[in-house]
Amino acid sequence: MLWRAVVLLATTVVVISSEKVRYDKYRVYRVHPAGDEQLRFLASFAKYHNDIQFWKEPRVVNKPADVMVSPEMQTSFLEGLEANGIQATVYVDNVQTLIDNERGVRRQGESFGWEDYYTLEEIHGWLNSLSETYPDVVTPIVGGSSYEGREILGVNITFAPGNPVVVVEGGIHAGEWIGPATATWIINQILTTNDSAVRDTVRQFNFYVFPNLNPDGYVYTWTTDRNWRGTRTPYTPCYGADPNRNWDFHWGEEGASSTVCSSDFAGPEPFSEVETRTFSEFLASLGDDFQVYLDFHSYGQMLMFPYGLYSVTAPNYDDLLVITTKAVEALTARYGTQYTFGSIVDTIYAAAGSSLDWVMGVLGKRFVFVWELRDKGQYGQLLPADQIIPNSEETFDSILSILRDVLAQIESSHS
């Protein structure tokens, strides 16, 4: 019964269109795999992503997965679940409604803000303007390039030579718009805060902030497919690889796919994607001053640290667990938002080939963290713009907690 249902799904015809993709009457189901056979059945759907796309992949027994299903495939999908004894609930009734309601407001005369989402061109324009507004501390910086020739643009905020360096990145998964929005909010907060305690903390670090690590994919989410995830490198028969499975540390092992059309396709080889290769070269160039790496994803409300592998444990696991425990307490204090925390593999699932694991495993950086930002699945990566500011505020509270703990450890190591 398991494979008969899969064969039925395989008859779907993949249609490639240059028109903007709509998701009318697409539903998101939360499914609960209770055993390995059910897990394998769900995982097999990833090969047919045009009609069935996972928002949260089925990787672990007894952990829910979220799957978006086209109206044409819902009957077959539900029959397959029933035949294999898999429970499911409708989490999103109409994905297009979420897309239509995602955007926020822009005040008259406002060139950039945090009550709406912004295009890559608008984000880059704002980043470039900061060096004119803050010429003593801000320098635009190119951290790499994309397959289609776009810059991975960021800013370097330098308060004093020799300060520990913090790298902040968002948008490695193109459709997770809250990541770039949070990164730009944090830039603004670092530069404009009037809170003396915040200012005293951030000015002991130098920052490199890159809101959009996957610029081609991000542009594509605006022009063509809001739910796009990967790069835009052409493969056969599909486009793109998952740039957060493409890094050269235990590449292609646990929690990544070798199937070209899968959402977590790791690429044909490590660093096959221009974006990951060039950005990794930039990170390696930062040297010993580079000490902290902060990465924004969505969704799920989790704060995690390496590794995304069952076979490797962070050498400072206990310290990282203490740091994330305190950071989550700081995050929750503002609005009561509940986060889970721990290592990637313990908190969410195995995910080999990530930027985080490479930064720790290859560059040897000790303070490496990733956020799965709001929410728990009501909106998924289609988070309404009116949540940008509260999400960013609570996230920044957790970042400050982490930075203060990093400073304490640095001071302790020098004493």
Instruction: Give the position of tokens 């776009």.
Output: 150
Do 191 and 158 form a contact (C-beta atoms < 8 A)?
Answer: no
Which residues in 33-126 belong to E strands, given as ranges?
52-56, 65-69, 87-92
CA 272, CA 278: separation in Å to the nearest integer?
Answer: 10
Closest residue by Cα to residue 168 from 405, 380, 402: 402
Q: Would you call 330 helix, strand, or coil by DSSP? A: helix
Supply 104's token pair: 């926020």
- The residue length of the chain stands at 415
The DSSP-derived string for 217-240 is HHHHHHHT-TT--S---B-SSSB-
β-sheet bridge partners, residue 90: 29
Is position 122 annotated as part of the catalytic site?
Answer: no
Which residue of the set 57, 254, 372, 394 is catalytic? 372
Q: Position 44: which residue type?
A: S
- Number of C-beta neighbours around residue 400 at 10 A: 18
Quickly count: other Cβ atoms within 10 Å of residue 326's Cβ.
16
Instruction: Provide the annotated active-site residues.
Output: 372
